[in-house]
Structure 1
């Protein structure tokens, strides 16, 4: 499958700030270099206690990081759907119908308003409940129907993150590899640097070495130097 990214309008769903860079950072760089439009729909963010060197990050800090990353990748727009601790790491408590309506029509960059040609979502096998809730809600929003009545993106992809492999059952390897140039990988790595509250040293799923190693592995599987792996959910030729 060959894609002319210059003709595409990408809409990426990120459960939290940094998921879009971890999963699609290379593609965002490649697509923008080609002339594509790129939009990011964040689902939620809140104050977070984690295992980073700092140990704690606030929602305000995360919003500041988003602005820096947006400028770095030259996003055309982004939106935070459900900010606050009532939703952060609790999206599984929000009725799917409400998440689906937001994704389908209510967000300023909803599918109905933006009419993207490519939609990218987290993989539903993630152990993280917010990732699962986002993946399932987008899946519902993109349900088959009459294309004369509802917009259907031509290409729907699930992106991968290193931690997605933490499952009791086997996880299929990506069936689509997007070839990256070194500058695309460097853009991805720098994007994660700008998420300073979320970066970690190796060994960690968000370390620079992990991201580079996964890119080398996916590239090798396609016979190229560097790549990013995706699962094809819909491809309308």
Structure 2
């Protein structure tokens, strides 16, 4: 079964700027080329201590990176739901009720406002607390109910990042594989390079070689050269 990407309204939930590219960069490029609409709902962004020579990246730097990446991938829109250091890397301290309300109906890019056909979110097995609560909040916001009363996307997928495997209960291999052309993967790498504060040299989970290697592995598992892996949570055919 294949998806006609040209007909889709895709809403991607990213805990932080770069998660959408790490998990869905190839799919974003493939879908936009086909004519899809792509929206990115970031949950939070703030100043970040890191392993760069400077030792930190500022929220101002990261907003500048978002704008470059948005232009590169030609996103239809993007938004940050909980900006600022009081939320960044602290989403596990925000009540689930507030997170779910933003995702479900209060954000400009909420499920109720956009009525997406495809929703993508991080996988709950990530070691990162912001990723975990984002995954759980999206899961709650998309709970089963009467489709006449609440919008239900036809397809709900959890995307993977290489770092997600660093858990003793790491998830099983993805059960949905999206084939990528070489130019889709090249676009994913190019988009990640625009996140200059976040990409690293190998060996690192956010290195170019890691992204290429994971794409080759997922491609091999589906009998093609390159692919991105996803976990299907809902698929209405």
Q: TM-score, with normalisation over the residues of structure 1?
A: 0.99
Q: Which moved more, 1:91-100 or 1:53-62?
A: 53-62
CA distance in 2, matches of 1:171, 1:151: 28
Q: Which moved more, 1:59-68 or 1:165-174?
A: 165-174
Count of paired positions: 237
Task: Give the drift of 1:168.
Answer: 1.3
For the Cα contact (< 8 Å) 2:163–2:205, is it kept in 1? yes
CA distance in 1, matches of 2:169, 2:132: 16
For the Cα contact (< 8 Å) 1:16–1:44, is it kept in 2? yes
Q: Which runs of 5+ in 1 are unaligned?
A: none
Alpha-carbon displacement from aligned partner over 1:67-112 (angstroms, at most 9, x marks no partner) = 0000000000000111111000000000001000000000001000
Q: Which runs of 5+ in 2 are unaligned?
A: none
Runs of 4+ in structure 1 off by over 6 angstroms are none
Task: Give the drift of 1:169.
Answer: 2.2
* Aligned residue number for residue 198 of structure 1: 198
| 1:3-18 superposed matches below 5 A | 3-18=3-18
* Aligned residue number for residue 33 of structure 1: 33
Q: Does 1:152 align with 2:159?
A: no
Task: Give the drift of 1:170.
Answer: 4.2
For the Cα contact (< 8 Å) 1:53–1:200, is it kept in 2? no
CA distance in 1, matches of 2:60, 2:136: 28
Task: Give the drift of 1:54.
Answer: 3.4
For the Cα contact (< 8 Å) 2:27–2:184, is it kept in 1? yes
CA distance in 1, matches of 2:171, 2:138: 20
Q: TM-score, with normalisation over the residues of structure 2?
A: 0.99
